[in-house]
Amino acid sequence: MGIVRVVVALTAFGLVINTSTDTFGHDTHSHSPHSRADKDHADATSRSRMWTIKSLTGDGTPTMVKASLLTADHDQVRLQTLDGRVISISSKTLTAEDLKFVHQRQERMLQLNTQPFVRLTAFQSKDNQGVANPPALASFFKPFAKTIRFHWDRDFLFVESTGMPDHPMMTGITAWQQQVPIPQAYTGNNAWKIPLHPVPAPNPMSTKEHFFRGAIALAVNGVPIFNPIKNNGKTDTLLAGELDRWGGHCGRADDYHYHIAPVHLEKIVGAGNPVAVALDGYAIYGYNDPNGKPPTDLDWLNGHKGPDGTYHYHATKTFPYLNGGFYGEVIELNGQVDPQPRAQGVRPALPGLKGAKIVGYENPKPDNFIVRYEVFGDPRSIEYEVADNGSATFNFVSAQGTMTETYSPRKRGGGDGRQNSEQPGSQRPTGKEPQGNRGRGDESRGGKGGGRSGDDPIVAALDANGDGQIDKDELRGASAALIKLDVNKDQKISPDELRDRSSQQRGGGNGKPQGIGPSGKTGGSKGPQPGDGPRQPWIFVHANEIDLDKNKIISREEIVGEAGKAFAGYDTNNDGKLSQNELQGRGGSRSAMGGFLKGHAQEIDRDDDGVLSRAEVIGNAERMFAKMDRNRDDTISSEELEEARRK
């Protein structure tokens, strides 16, 4: 079988085979050992096994690594090595024996997730994968035993909730997007998953630069807590007036969540007890330590170690308000902690309502709610009811009368956390696009090839079929196509002739974007036309090319797959980054998405480091998709495409 190598290093782009044992040294962040860490290490060691990873080195030599299984989602398997490192690999690289082990663990977890869950008041009555006693972490949620259920295994606490707190909501919001709270199904495979044995991260990540999507913590009443900075990466939600008196509001799926630490829960849990748990497994306390005194030694993550040596975070009255990042290890995927539950709405997201102020909230009977608000002083209300089957009826009441809308439940997603309710591009109360998202490469004008090639007369002449790429047949006819540009037949193409051709392109044609429209037809001239009207979303323009199975529906997999293929086409050295030199190559530009990456590289480069990472490219595709997937069902229908058309 050949020489077997051992994995000793990990980078952001995968495994690195290295014979040096000092690769894991901490350069800038250290953690003093204590009994909890020693116990965690011993537990991890007892759960570990040897894994054989095929062809990881590129020369056909298998790699052996001793690690424990964390999660297995789709075709990705996450392992934790003995030193606490988390690695993610494709299941295709595993042996049949390792895959059998993974499947056995998955079947066991499915059993646990489909069995009746126990409430906090009866946790001894359930076999939690051989762990009889509830973990200490579970005790934080005990005051809310009537509304929260959970189970656990040796590694995680799984928390079920509806995301609806017992206290009133929404009152006090002055910047409102017309969303109201409805119960969410954070249950089963869509439950919250909190590590029982958190591992300190060698390089903690800050919430000031990361995790602008999804939750970063879970309150002890089962309500998720999002980053205080909204998804545009700039706006402080508290200072912007977007939060109610309890520090929360609703996302685009009508899902209620906090954006600051819910210190008001101390009235229920008691002063000195945690009010939340960060998704890395470390507790979040109120403004004071358990001794009743405010801490004086908080680090940049808003945390410190208590007298027992255990790390925890604290709430503060100024930013970052709660955990300012993650002291423990987490996985960041598409701008959020992964995995995590997914919220699912029943109606399309709405724009902000200028002049609105929420003045009251009522829950007169189960599953019936009233949100009262004013618009420039004019009283109005939304009275709505959520049925057992998930459908919802909304009555919009104003001085002009009552308008009623009824929505049926849509297909709910799993708990992979790939798409949460607050999406980049959500509108502010003015109805305008968030400033932080403008120019971020989410859109293009009507031309093909990323909105740039349509203005190039030479490319336009070569691209005979107008599909945004030059194929081999078009290359064979390149000479004849270019000769047509030589209007005066002097065997030269002058700048004036090129300018004339450009003017013809901009002045003629019907200017219709290619894609799935009401007529289902494709085509149209290249480049923006004077009569085209507003700039159209890139997906709208290129829908026909993205729709690989030609079913008149664009799936998330199709748009993300296109982005991944374009990235791989440019990434000639396979280092997981696209340099300027690589973007000038031809590999990824054979598709409209490839042209888009080349033409919008500066905007897609969110960290302004001069290169495009795969996460930046995929994240941009996700944002583009989210803007048009109005009903959050992970597909863009013909109707949604038409709704996205700018008139």
Query: What is the distance between the alpha carbons of residues 644 and 284, in angstroms, rounded to a whole number?
Result: 41
Q: Which pLDDT score is estimated for 616?
A: 85
Residues 14 and 137 in one domain: no
Degrees (nearest 5) of the Cα angle 539, 540, 546? 50
Across 295-306, average pLDDT: 95
pTM of the predicted structure, to 2 decimals: 0.50
Question: Across residues 169-180, what is the average pLDDT?
Answer: 95
Residues 241 and 224 in one domain: yes
Q: Do 106 and 190 fall within a single domain?
A: no
pLDDT at 60: 64
Tell whether 601 is covered by a domain. yes
Tell me which of 534 and 21 has the higher pLDDT. Answer: 534
Task: Give the residue, 522 or 208, on which the prediction is more confident.
Answer: 208
Are residues 302 and 175 both part of a single domain?
yes
Q: What is the token pair recorded at 302?
A: 């808003």
- Quickly count: other Cβ atoms within 10 Å of residue 236's Cβ: 17
The answer to whether residue 424 sits within a structural domain is no
Q: How many domains does the chain have?
A: 3
pLDDT at 201 over 90: yes
Q: Are 106 and 186 part of one and the same domain?
A: no
Q: Please choose, from the candidates 137, 224, 193, 152, the residue with its C-alpha nearest in 3D space to the C-alpha of residue 339.
A: 193
- Bigger pLDDT: 603 or 336? 336
- Shared domain check, 60 and 177: no
CA–CA separation, 388 vs 209, rounded Å? Answer: 40
Q: Are 215 and 226 in contact (CB under 8 A)?
A: yes
pLDDT at 27 over 70: no
Q: Please name the amino acid found at residue 556.
A: R
H-helix segments, 467-528:
472-476, 478-483, 495-507
Is residue 179 situated within a structural domain? yes
Which pairing describes strands 325-328 and 200-206: parallel, antiparallel, or unpaired? antiparallel
pLDDT in tens, 547-557: 887 888 888 88
Examine residue 277 and state whether it is found in any structural domain, yes or no.
yes
Does pLDDT of 208 surpass 50? yes
Question: Is 276 strand, coil or helix?
Answer: strand
- pLDDT tens string 92-112: 888 888 888 888 877 766 555
Mean of the per-residue pLDDT values for the chain?
Answer: 76
The lowest-confidence range among 128-142, 368-382, 427-441 is: 427-441
Give the CATH number of the domain where residue 19 resides: 2.30.30.700
Question: Can you give the pLDDT at residue 434?
Answer: 30
**What share of residues in the chain are helix, strand, coil (percent, to 5)?**
25, 25, 50
Closest residue by Cα to residue 48 from 24, 18, 79, 17 = 79
For residues 100 and 233, state if they share a domain. no
Burial 165-198 (b: 16+ CB within 10 A, else e): bebebbbbbebbbbbbbbbbbbbbbbbbbbbbbb
pLDDT in tens, 452-487: 344 577 777 777 655 556 776 677 777 777 877 777
**Per-residue model confidence as pLDDT tens digits over 519-536:** 333 333 344 444 555 668
Q: What is the DSSP letter of 204?
A: E
Residue 639 lies in a domain: yes
Partner residues linked to 443 by β-bridges = 537
- Residue for token pair 């590289």: 601
Strands 378-386 and 368-375: antiparallel
Same domain, 466 and 497: yes
Instruction: Report the pLDDT value the prediction gives residue 31, as an integer from 0 to 100.
Output: 39
Mean of pLDDT values over 323-336:
93
In a domain, 323, yes or no: yes
The answer to whether 527 and 504 are in contact (CB under 8 A) is no
Distance in angstroms (rounded) separating the CA atoms of residues 575 and 472: 29
Q: Does residue 74 register a pLDDT over 80?
A: no
Q: Please check whether residue 392 is in contact with residue 382, taking contact to mean a CB–CB distance below 8 angstroms.
A: no
Q: Which of 89, 114, 139 is the last residue of a domain?
A: 114
Which residues does residue 333 pair with via DSSP β-bridges, in sequence order? 336
- Give the three-class secondary structure for 468: coil
Dihedrals phi, psi of 157, to nearest 5 degrees:
-105, 125
- Domain containing residue 247: 118-338
CATH number at residue 531: 1.10.238.10
Helix (H, G, I), strand (E, B) or coil at 572: coil
pLDDT at position 110 is 57
- Per-residue pLDDT for 39 more than 70? no
150 and 66 inside one domain: no
Among residues 338, 362, 383, the one where a domain terminates is: 338
Same domain? 97 vs 172: no
- Give a yes or no: residue 398 inside a domain: no
Q: Considering only residues 448 and 142, tell me which one the structure prediction assigns the higher pLDDT.
A: 142
90 with 156, same domain: the answer is: no
Q: Which residue among 114, 141, 157 closes a domain?
A: 114
pLDDT at 159: 96
Assess whether 630 and 497 both reside in one domain.
Answer: yes
pLDDT above 60 (res 302): yes
In a domain, 529, yes or no: yes
Of the chain, the percentage scoring pLDDT greater than 70 comes to 72
